[in-house]
Amino acid sequence: MKRFPLERYASLELNQVAFPKTGMVVSQVPLGAAFTESAPCENGMWVVADKAAGTINAATSAINKPMGIVYTTEKEYNPYFAGLKNFYKVAGEYPRVGILGIGDTVTTNCLQYDESEYKDASGAAEHSAVLAALANIETTPMYVVPVTGSAVPKLTATKPTSGMYAKVVKFYSVPNGEKGVKYQIISL
């Protein structure tokens, strides 16, 4: 797996989501131990907010709990590093997680992709192949799916037959100007 290119950390724009109005927001559950300084929690990650266990973690192979998206309000801790791309949280901190529903639409650059699925004309796995696929999104659909053991969802050209997934709506930009993807949740 390869991460979608970022200058520092991922950012997120909520385009049309129901969770703020329906109250499907988890904000008083701490992040699990997997979120460290070297692998922090970023906005746009898909996580399982397990209130009963008292932690927020990445999805496991047996997902039987609601999945949400991290949408914590960014804070600027240092005037020399301003902007959405500099914000993250680690274990023990409290992110804000919106439980996703069908039809929710967001724009983010918190994505990864399988290098073997995207190759350039020479057959080499490259990020430019992913960008080319996204540029043709009107003719060739792409999807976003959860990844077992990772909070970063994956771009894929293969339409899932079950489980939670989203469909890419537009190749766009995130609020800080970096390239991003707008997607809509299709199935839970």
Q: In what order do the strands lie in the sheet with 25-26?
A: 25-26, 97-99, 67-70, 46-50, 55-57
Distance, CA of 57 to CA of 140 (rounded, Å): 32
Inform me whether the pLDDT recorded for 16 exceeds 80.
Answer: yes
For 30-40, what is the mean pLDDT?
Answer: 95
What SS3 state is found at 20? helix
What SS3 state is found at 22? helix
Contact call for residues 145 and 154 (beta carbons, < 8 A): yes
Distance, CA of 183 to CA of 188 (rounded, Å): 14
pLDDT at 122: 66
Domain ranges of the chain: 6-187
pLDDT at 59: 83
Quick one: 113 exposed, middle or buried, by C-beta within 10 A (0-12, 13-18, 19+)? Answer: buried
Distance, CA of 170 to CA of 138 (rounded, Å): 8
Inform me whether the pLDDT recorded for 62 exceeds 60.
Answer: no
For 75-103, what is the mean pLDDT?
Answer: 84
Of the pLDDT bands very low, low, confident and very high (cuts 50, 70, 90), residue 100 is very high
Of the pLDDT bands very low, low, confident and very high (cuts 50, 70, 90), residue 90 is very high
Which 8-state DSSP code applies to residue 120? -
3-state per-residue secondary structure call for 55-112: EEECCCCCCCCCEEEECCCCCCCCHHHCCHHHCCECCCCCCCEEECCCCCEEEECCCE
Distance, CA of 68 to CA of 96 (rounded, Å): 9
Of the pLDDT bands very low, low, confident and very high (cuts 50, 70, 90), residue 61 is low
* Nearest partner of 175 among 83, 91, 53, judged by Cα: 83
Summarize pLDDT for 121-139 with one digit per residue, the tens: 666 557 788 888 899 998 8
Inform me whether the pLDDT recorded for 84 exceeds 80.
Answer: no
